[in-house]
Amino acid sequence: MSDTEAVIVELLNQSLNPQFAKSIQSKLDEIELVTPNYGIILLTLLQNGNISNDIKLAAAINFKNLVKRKWIDIEGRHLLQDVQEIRSNIIDCMIQLPNILKSQIGEAISIIAESDFPEFWPNLINELVTKLSLTDFEKNIGVLTVAHEVFKRWRHLARSDELFLEILKVLGEFQEVFMKLFLEVDQQIQSHPNDTALLNILFENFNLLLEIYYDLNCQDIPEYFEENIQQGFSVILRYLTYKNNLLEPEDHFDEDEDDSEVTILIKTKCSIQELLKLYASKYGDVFGPLIGTFVETTWELLTTIKPLSKNDLLVCNSMEFLSSVAKINEYSSIFSNENGNLNLLLEKIILPNLMLHSSDIEMFEDDPIEFVRRDLEGSDIDTRRRSCTDFLKVLKSKNLVELTNISMQLITNFLNLYKQDPKVNWKYKDLAIYFYVAVAVEGQITTFGCMDTNPHVNVIEFFKENIANDLSNVDDSINPIILVDAIKYIYVFRNQIGKDNIKTVLPYLATFLTNNNYVVYTYSAVTLERVLSMRESRSSSKFVFQKGDLVGASEPLITNLFKLIMKDSSKPEKLAENEFLMKSIYKICSIAQDTLGEFSLEVIKQSLSILDLIKSNPSNPRFTHFTFESVAVNVKTQISINIGNIDKVISLVMPSILNYLADDVTEFLQYSFQLLAYLTESFSNELPLSEQISQLSQPLLTPTVWEMAGNIPATTRFLVALLNKQPQLFNNIEQILGLTQKLLNSKRLFVHAFEILEALIINYDSQLLSPYLPSILSMILARLQNKDLSFSKRFILFIAEIILGKNKEPNFVINWFSMLQQDSIFTGVFNNVVISNIDQFNNLLERKVVYIGLLTFGLNSNLLLEKYPEICRSLIDSSLNMIKKQTQGINSSSGTGGSFLDMDMVEEISTFGSSFSKLISISKNLVNDPLPFVALDQNNNNLGQFVQQELLQPKADLLNALNISM
């Protein structure tokens, strides 16, 4: 072992202690930077028999993370020096590893294959095929794992010629060897029913082969598999009913003694059901003759399977297969009630799996946060209840009236059983409520709640008869799960229940925040947050509950929520566990706004103290996000009450922000920069910028600050805010241009380069900038050669912003292009890029800036008219034509005020859709609006009036000379 390897091993060993993990990782990162073959060293350590498995696991995770971070950059370039060596060694390395290490290296292989296969790794499939064996099944596990890691990415890719060529290449080398091995494993299993060790290895092979069967068929059914469908699925049918006590002992214990270990036989049957669902939903014309047999077998399986948690995924996958068949009109009659099948389905399959099981109750008591997460808004995709609900939706779509009638009779029976002995029979009420909700809801339960209900039920009546009393019941004997059911009913049907009814139960929700049960108070917080998020319509920005509705209630609600968060503050990860509580605080603050008064300062303090506690281990990104949101919304509230409060706010937040920056708390940086940007933007022209903020101008330009792509929108916003407020802070323009060049060359981040350049050019004196202007323009034009429409559009917007921003210099753009001393460049760019793409904008704000900006240029630049009269005429003509279409409502549009926008989804989409998490409460449009007084939305469109009065009338003589009508 070399000295470098010995140091890495020692550091990996030290990293096993969570207390030192972060600092040790920094040291490993330093070694990685100066060690060209760092990845190969990690693979070598994994094969070293003298190193403990714990250290090997740390090495495997380190290798996987290295590949995630540095295999390719955002432009698709390889960053590591040993990529070829890694590709040559990684498969042999993985094959010999134990399963826990295989999974880590498998992930790394999947990442490598996604970028490199087949172009940079053409021999991969041949290498896998030559390593497969009809006798060494233990070795096969590693080879098949690699194959599955490479192929499974096809499942989620959009159809394309390139993808199909890749799949065809793989099939050509792999399909016959695959089928031969598939049949051989089947024969070996039949021949060795009493060899436990061999059976486990064989079923590991068989399960991986089933996964690969799915991978190879996920996009389209290959001709080879269509020709061999009878042979393949006769084997598959055998294992859907396969029993062997050596692999799956008969369960002699009841549900209360649940053994949750999922066996390889259960995993195999799960994979079979996934494959059946694929074939039923996509290849019914080929699979049709076999469907009846598999439905019958699955039906029998579901009626005999025991209610143990280890069987949950098998039940889910089986239900999903039946759902996929029920959707096909040709087979939907199987599930009708002509032969009593619907009754049987509900009583023998649906209801037993909707009934709460002991494992659910155990989770409710022992892991309540997981119970909430699994139960909320479709996050319980792999639970029996979710699969039953989805199956019920399909059955309702085929026979709504009959299913509703049968279901309501059953629900009434369950409610009557509950009433006979509420303490003993509480499970029946839980079942009744869950079943009722599943029958009553039409469509999906989104963040907006239930939008449509079954017309044959009355959710208000059910609420009054079966839910309201449970909410107002102060009797501690009521089961907490029934209380949660009642709260969740409001959560689901809040739109149907309406504001007046909800106002009567809000005091109960507030009271439940002092309940001792974790799930009860969490669901109360969730429901409170969702109720306050109700809007007058999905496209409306107006909330149903206004700040006046919360007067007197906000402070006690927030105080109780903070108490719940701080209940267990001994460990950062425990404190940050429940994001629902913090999200509720944020929502209350965002609705209450200035009615909070001085208390909003207390919320900022409390939120910052929580962030200070969790900064050493910010384990829950959503909790972190909503904690920063609660800081941001209250900062905004204080400044909106009185701009004079800004100094008070800065003195409150800056110590914490400076600590996060100094300690390099990665998870907090983008939020810190967003807050800094907002504070900078909030200073009026009369107020000097705080020194605590301005002192960060130079550190902000440090290259390491701009290394993480997720931080760049926030760092850009802060830099732009500083340039707009106090450009003289930056003496070294070259530094700014260096980072903008890097951003400009990025396929994903170039928009931020334009933001910075706009602020730089608009705010700096043109004479001061003149030495740099030619290189800036050359840099942009070089990138423009790639003919990327999104870049071209952002360039046009950039030019329009510059024209409007430097309105006192109408010839600035002409003079700028003249610096390159080639008139043809200006002509080519404006004819082939600007004018030809003026009709490509959909966003209303972008349209406004582009149309008015280019029209202003054409009308006001005397040099443009003098040197390029045809371009001048075209600019004015094109701009006026687009403005006319816009004012007459001919153009379709999107964005601000232009089209339907699901306001309730904005938060989730923009918050967690990428590595950048936008703080909604202080968000800012990426496009600068130099004309806020001009509106284009449907309710307030003064574009035509502004153009006519402010732009065209003063230039009537020019327009007449050009023969352009106003």
Interval 371-381: pLDDT, tens: 999 888 555 45
Question: Which pLDDT belongs to residue 182?
Answer: 98
Residues 6+ apart with CB under 8 A from 821: none
Question: Which pLDDT belongs to residue 536?
Answer: 86
Question: Which pLDDT belongs to residue 255?
Answer: 55
For 93-124, how does the pLDDT look when each residue is reduced to its tens digit (9 = 90+)? Answer: 998 888 889 889 999 999 999 889 989 999 99
Is the backbone of residue 597 left (phi > 0), alpha (psi -120 to 50) or beta? left
Question: Which pLDDT belongs to residue 82?
Answer: 86
Question: Which pLDDT belongs to residue 251?
Answer: 59
Are the CB atoms for 557 and 588 separated by under 8 Å?
yes
CA 795 to mean position of chain CA atoms: 29
Are the CB atoms for 441 and 434 separated by under 8 Å?
no
Domain residue spans in the chain?
1-105, 780-901+933-966
Strand ranges inside 386-500, DSSP E: 441-446, 449-453
Question: Which pLDDT belongs to residue 448?
Answer: 82
Are the CB atoms for 882 and 847 separated by under 8 Å?
yes
Cα distance between residue 124 and residue 217, in whole Å: 20
Are the CB atoms for 383 and 357 separated by under 8 Å?
no
Distances (CA, A) of 67 to 22, 82, 114, 141, 961: 19, 11, 12, 23, 64
Question: Which pLDDT belongs to residue 585?
Answer: 98
CB-hemisphere CA count at 13 Å for 582?
26
Question: Which pLDDT belongs to residue 471?
Answer: 92
Cα distance between residue 770 and residue 636, in whole Å: 38
Question: Which pLDDT belongs to residue 104?
Answer: 92
DSSP 868: -
Question: Which pLDDT belongs to residue 851?
Answer: 96
Cα distance between residue 783 and residue 220, in whole Å: 39
What average pLDDT does the segment 69-94 reach? Answer: 85
Cα distance between residue 797 and residue 802, in whole Å: 9
Q: Please give the single-letter amino acid code of residue 788.
A: D
Read off φ and ψ for residue 295, nearest 5 degrees. -65, -45
Q: How many CB atoms lie within 10 A of CB 963?
A: 7
Strand-pair partners of 952: none
What average pLDDT does the segment 20-40 reach? Answer: 89
Cα distance between residue 897 and residue 884, in whole Å: 18
Question: Which pLDDT belongs to residue 940?
Answer: 76
CB-hemisphere CA count at 13 Å for 235?
23
Q: Three-state SS across 186-238?
A: HHHHHHCCCCHHHHHHHHHHHHHHHHHHHHHHCCCCCHHHHHCHHHHHHHHHH
Question: Which pLDDT belongs to residue 579?
Answer: 96
What residue has token string 């369960």? 251
Task: Look at 248-252, 898-902, 937-941 and tell me which has the smallest mean pLDDT.
Answer: 898-902
Flag whether pLDDT at 896 surpasses 60.
Answer: no
Flag whether pLDDT at 294 surpasses 90.
Answer: yes
Are the CB atoms for 620 and 573 separated by under 8 Å?
yes
DSSP 2: -
Kindly state the percentage of the chain with pLDDT values over 90: 76
What average pLDDT does the segment 390-407 reach? Answer: 94
Flag whether pLDDT at 914 surpasses 90.
Answer: no
What average pLDDT does the segment 573-588 reach? Answer: 96
* Of 285, 268, 287, 264, the residue nearest 276 (C-alpha): 287
What average pLDDT does the segment 843-847 reach? Answer: 93
What average pLDDT does the segment 212-236 reach? Answer: 97
Are the CB atoms for 41 and 81 separated by under 8 Å?
no
Is the backbone of residue 442 left (phi > 0), alpha (psi -120 to 50) or beta? beta
* Of 570, 637, 626, 578, the residue nearest 602 (C-alpha): 637
Question: Which pLDDT belongs to residue 899?
Answer: 36
Flag whether pLDDT at 260 surpasses 70.
Answer: no
Flag whether pLDDT at 903 surpasses 50.
Answer: no
Residues 6+ apart with CB under 8 A from 473: none
Distances (CA, A) of 171 to 167, 209, 276, 279: 6, 14, 21, 18
Are the CB atoms for 134 and 181 separated by under 8 Å?
yes
284: exposed, middle or buried (Cβ count in 10 Å: 0-12, 13-18, 19+) = middle
What average pLDDT does the segment 371-397 reach? Answer: 83
Mean per-residue pLDDT of the chain: 91
Whole-prediction pTM: 0.86
For 786-804, how does the pLDDT look when each residue is reduced to its tens digit (9 = 90+)? Answer: 888 999 999 999 999 999 9
For 694-733, how does the pLDDT look when each residue is reduced to its tens digit (9 = 90+)? Answer: 999 999 999 989 988 899 999 999 999 999 999 999 988 9
Q: How many CB atoms lie within 10 A of CB 50?
A: 7
DSSP 241: S
